[in-house]
Structure 1
Amino acid sequence: MALLLSLLTALVLLSSGPARTLGCDPLEDHVLLSRENVELLRDMNSISPLFCLKDRQHFRFPRAVVDGSQVQKAQALSVLHQMLQQISDLLATENSSVPWNTTLVDLLRTGLHRQLEDLDTCWAREMGEEGPALATQGPTLALKRYFQGIRLYLKEKQYSDCAWEVVRVEILRSFSSTIAALQERLRNEDGDVGSP
């Protein structure tokens, strides 16, 4: 009976799999999952960007918040968390999936949700009491303002298909930029490991 219980326990653990939970250190796991989410955003393209040229908007992504050479690990986690949360909230907006394949939107929402859950665990472990304070500092506030501008734009455009396409392209660009900056930070961190 004990052998059967052990086998069932092992089966449950294997079925949940290590891929379901990301580690907190290094940040590489989160960067890889973010790249998967970026690919889903890229695949969601449903309208020719040329068709929506009249709706283009410059949202002024705050690049300073993702400068890979200056961002500390705590800030990097905070920025990534804020970016994922804001994208997730935006996709939860009424009529957000009108122009897109709902299967891809659902996959993206699931990926974002999974990564946010894992980051919340990391947040608690890595930041402790410092975490809530980071959420109110410059980088995360700048991201909140940036996404507020996106929400206002969508409202002004009455959540049209072209407005959503412009937002998809903008989020793809800013999210890719964030991931690239975090990868740069990781490369710099790896290079510093051998330094005296």
Structure 2
Amino acid sequence: MAQFKAVPHDGKAVSEYTNQNLALLEVATELRRLANRQPVVPKQVERPDTKAETLPQEARYRIRKDFDQVDERDFVERSYNEIYRFFEASVRELEALPDIEARLSPLDSGSFSCTLINRGFGRGFETIHVRRGGSWGAIEYLFGEENSRTASNGGFAVEADDYQLHLRSTGFRISGGRMPMDRETVSASEAAQLMWDELLSKVGIDYA
């Protein structure tokens, strides 16, 4: 409070002034001056940031795990759903192209078919059937109009290392002749990409 002075200037009460209007004017003037004065903000002392220095560097860990049949079943279901979403998005992308017709048809809860038609290409018609479960692996695929449960062009089996589950390609891929598919570990999106690329090649569609 020491920074404020009494008003009127001599500290007398306004009622003691002969001309009280002058006393009130002095009070009002001083109050207006105080209201317009910029407040003095005390300067904050900067403290060194010690948080970054005390926290340990980020570490990455791998945790070993034993996988059972429930884990494998859930993994296959997630992988199948991701493959379906991949085909769904890819079909929407193709629908914008001229002379191309793309159809995605869910057959049941564990299988679907996808048909591509390239009206500008003589052999531009092909269908792929994708399903969960079968003799070729946890996820199988078959090209052709007929969806036979006893036939397959290949598939993806579930394998596990000490840390995670993954898909491994099995069987054969037909592209200009019968040739073995690389027995490589793939993710669900990579498995979908392999099947989609094969379907595109059969109807004369390639990437720019």
Q: Same fold (TM over 0.5)?
A: no
TM-score w.r.t. the length of structure 1 is 0.26
> Which structure shows the higher strand fraction?
2
> Which structure shows the higher helix fraction?
1
TM-score w.r.t. the length of structure 2 is 0.25
Tell which has more relative contact order, 1 or 2 (C-alpha 8 A, sep 6+): 1
